[in-house]
Structure 1
């Protein structure tokens, strides 16, 4: 079992603040998987810092003149420190168990 520490910088965006935050947090597992050798089975967040939080606001109009409405889009960038426990499957010794099927079992795809 290996334990490593990583600092991730993730960005998420969405129509609400909650959706933008959820999008950024949802990227943690895939970002850890890219940086870790083997299979990660525990990802423990140690620290979370908001690097930037931006609200984009603009006005849309139907046919350029009618029915103005204000649209919003939120973007958040996080810095997350995580501790990852992983297991390298290449170092494990697997025991070999071989089964032989009779011709009848093989024909019927039975064990």
Structure 2
């Protein structure tokens, strides 16, 4: 009978995202979740599922940009969000996996032809 080797845990991860548009700021923040979880855990991650997303801070920064300090002024907008994301992480518990030891030939092993095997054994004696 197979035993269950996966475990599910919930955790809160805080990420920050920036972008020229609102949806880019959110996407940048959410794309950081996978990397942050992999840094924290040594287990094999099977699935990461966001359950709840809370906006801690959402900022809109505006400034006027000018070409050569005088010409063609335009207003630039940048968005920044700070998110608390509750995720459910399904991982594989490596301590629960039993590996069976199996002896095999080395990968660099070169098989000898049959006619050389007898003379090779005699040379070793």
Task: Tell me which of 2, 5, 10 is aligned to 2:7.
Answer: 2
Tell me, in whole angstroms, the C-alpha distance in 1 between the residues paired with 2:14 and 2:21.
Answer: 20
Q: Report the number of matched residues.
A: 105
More displaced stretch, 2-11 vs 83-92: 83-92
Matched, 1:43 2:51: no
Task: Give the equivalent residue in structure 1 for 2:68.
Answer: 63
Please, what TM-score do these two structures have when normalized by structure 2?
A: 0.74
**Alpha-carbon deviation of 1:96?**
2.5
Task: Tell me which of 98, 111, 117 is aligned to 1:103.
Answer: 111
Task: Give the equivalent residue in structure 1 for 2:90.
Answer: 85
Partner-residue secondary structure (3-state), 1:98: coil
Task: Give the equivalent residue in structure 1 for 2:36.
Answer: 31
More strand per residue: 1
Partner-residue secondary structure (3-state), 2:28: helix
Partner-residue secondary structure (3-state), 2:104: coil
Gap runs ≥5 in structure 1:
106-111
Task: Tell me which of 16, 20, 25 is aligned to 1:11.
Answer: 16
Partner-residue secondary structure (3-state), 2:39: helix
Please, what TM-score do these two structures have when normalized by structure 1?
A: 0.82
